[in-house]
Amino acid sequence: MMVKDKVAIVTGAGRGIGRAIALLMAEHGAKVVVCDYGVSVNGSEPSSGPAEAVVKEIKEKGGEAIAIADDVSNFEAGRRIVQAALDTFGRLDCLVQVAGILRERMIFNMAEDEWDDVIRVHLKGHFNLMKFATGIMRQQGSGSIITFTSVAGLEGSPGQPNYCAAKAGIVGLTCSTALAMSKYNVTVNCIAPSAITRMTGRLAGPAAQAMTDAGEPEDIAPLVVFLCSEQARHVTGQVYTAEGYKIAIWSHPREIRTVSNHERWTPERIAEIFENQLGQDELSRFKRLDIPLPGRATSEFGN
C-alpha cells in the first residue's frame, strides 16, 4: 500500500476526479477526509449526499473516512476542514485539492460575479486549505500537497477567462509554496488532469474540442497516490499532466530567446530585429483549435 496510514484531505471528492482519488487513496491505506460541498457545476444547490456516498463506499471496502460538506472558498471552512482531519485522525499528511466550478463566458460578455465566483472557489479555495495545512505540516516536518491546474490554465481557453486565470494562479501558488515548504520536508506538486467528468460534459466549441483525448477520472488517481507516497519525497514544484494512459511533465516558464542592445532600445530598433531575432512562442492551441493570429486573417471587425 503506497500511502498506508497517511491521513489525506481530498476536496471535490464527491464526484469525478476527486471521488476516484479518494477511493484509490483509501485502497492504498490512507484515512480520507472526503470533502465536497455537493454543488452543481456552477456552484449552486449544496448537498452532503455526494461526500457521504463516497465515505460509504470506502467503509464498505474496509477503509476509514469521514465526510465534510463545506465550502472551500470560505476562509474559516479551510480551518474547519483541516481541524476535522486532526480531530478525527490526529494528523494530516496529504492535501489534494480538486474542488472547482465553471462559469463559461467570453471575456467581453462576462459578468463580475461570474469572474469572482470562479476565482474564489478555485484560487482562493486552494489558499484557504493550504494556509492551515502548511502550518500543521511545518510542525510535523512532513507532508504532501497536490494542487490542480488545467491545460486551459497553461495554454488558455477562449471562453473561460475566469477559469484560466484561476488555474494559472494555482501554478504560481504551487511554486511559491514548494519553495517555502521544502525545508520542512513538505512537497507541493500540481496536476493538470484531462478526463471526462460532469464539468467537461457541458463544454462546447473549442473547449470541447480540446478534450478529444481525455480519459477517465480513474486515470488521474494513480499519479496523485504516487506523489503522496514516500517514493516521491524528493519531488516538488512540478506540474504534470495525466490524460488517459499518458503522464507528462511540463516545463516551467523560462527565457527561450534573448536579444541585447548596446544602448536603450527604441520602438523602431525593436521593430527592425523583432521577427528574425525575438519573435513569438505561439500558444499551441492557436493551431490545435484552428484560431488565426491577428492580422493573418480577415476579421469581421476589420476595415
pLDDT for 300: 46
- Does residue 136 contact residue 83 with C-beta atoms inside 8 Å? no
pLDDT for 284: 87
Among residues 224, 221, 215, the alpha carbon closest in space to that of 197 is found at: 215
pLDDT for 65: 98
CA distance 19 to 24: 9
Number of helices (H) and strands (E) in the chain: give both, helices first.
11, 8
pLDDT for 196: 74
CA distance 185 to 188: 10
The neighbouring-strand residues paired with 246 are: 243
Instruction: Show the beta-strand stretches assigned E in the chain.
Output: 7-11, 31-35, 65-68, 94-97, 143-148, 186-194, 239-243, 246-249
What's the whole-model pTM score? 0.89
Burial class (CB in 10 A: 0-12, 13-18, 19+), 48: middle
The set of cell numbers assigned to 109 is 460578455
Mean pLDDT per 10-residue section of the chain, whose length is 303 residues: 97 96 98 87 71 97 97 97 98 97 96 98 98 98 98 94 98 98 98 76 52 79 98 98 95 95 96 96 88 69 40
Q: The domain 7-249 is classified under which CATH number: 3.30.465.10, 3.40.50.720, 3.40.50.300, 3.10.20.30?
A: 3.40.50.720
pLDDT for 250: 97
Which active-site residues does the annotation give? 163
Strand ranges of the sheet holding 31-35, from the earlier edge strand across to the other edge: 65-68, 31-35, 7-11, 94-97, 143-148, 186-194, 239-243, 246-249
Please state the domain extents for the chain: 7-249
CA angle centred on 7, ends 121 and 96, rounded to 5°: 30
CA distance 11 to 57: 16
pLDDT for 206: 52
